[in-house]
Copies of this chain bind each other. A is one copy, B any other.
Amino acid sequence: MRTVRAGDHLDVVTIHRAVRERVGHVSLQAVYDGLHALHRAGLLRKIEPMGSPARYEARVGDNHHHLVCRMCGTVTDVDCATGEAPCLDPVDAAGFLIEEADVIYWGVCPDCHSQNP
């Protein structure tokens, strides 16, 4: 939990590495188990942009969205455009019971953009 909080949309192997530095030795499986439990408990949010392994973050329950760089894969938080929890109201829900919205903006981050004119 501390490791995910300290990091920024980390993937599992990165979390694994970081947890190891913290406690000496942990198996990758233990990290998967822990993340899974924390996620089920609603303490961690899991996002998986296509092409990338899953990423975890501690910022949960506030319906925020993500900018993902197509070049370097960086994930950046972005607040919801329409206010509180507006993304939960599409024009026509087609009878769906909507629980959560998942919004990813794809583009190029400032760093990658400055390197490619």
Residue A33 interfacial (CB < 8 Å): no
Question: Within the oligomer, what is the number of copies of this chain?
Answer: 2
Minimum C-beta distance from A64 to chain B (A): 10
- Once A67-B90, A81-B90, A90-B65 are accepted as A-B contacts, the answer to whether A103 and B101 lie under 8 Å apart by CB is yes
- Once A90-B67, A90-B79 are accepted as A-B contacts, the answer to whether A106 and B98 lie under 8 Å apart by CB is yes
Minimum C-beta distance from A93 to chain B (A): 7
Q: How large is the interface on A (under 10, 10 to 19, 20 to 34, 35 or more residues)?
A: 35 or more
Interface residues of A in 19-41 (CB under 8 A from B): none
Chain A contact residues: over half helix, strand or loop, or mixed? Answer: mixed
Interface residues of A in 38-72 (CB under 8 A from B): 46, 48, 50, 54, 65, 67, 69-70
| Chain B residues in 8 Å Cβ range of A70 | 99
| Chain B residues in 8 Å Cβ range of A100 | 105-107
User: Does B101 contact A97, Cβ atoms closer than 8 Å?
Assistant: no
Q: Mark A73-106, 1 if CB is under 8 A from B, else 0.
A: 0001011111000111111111111111111111
User: Does A104 contact B101, Cβ atoms closer than 8 Å?
Assistant: yes
Residue A117 interfacial (CB < 8 Å): no
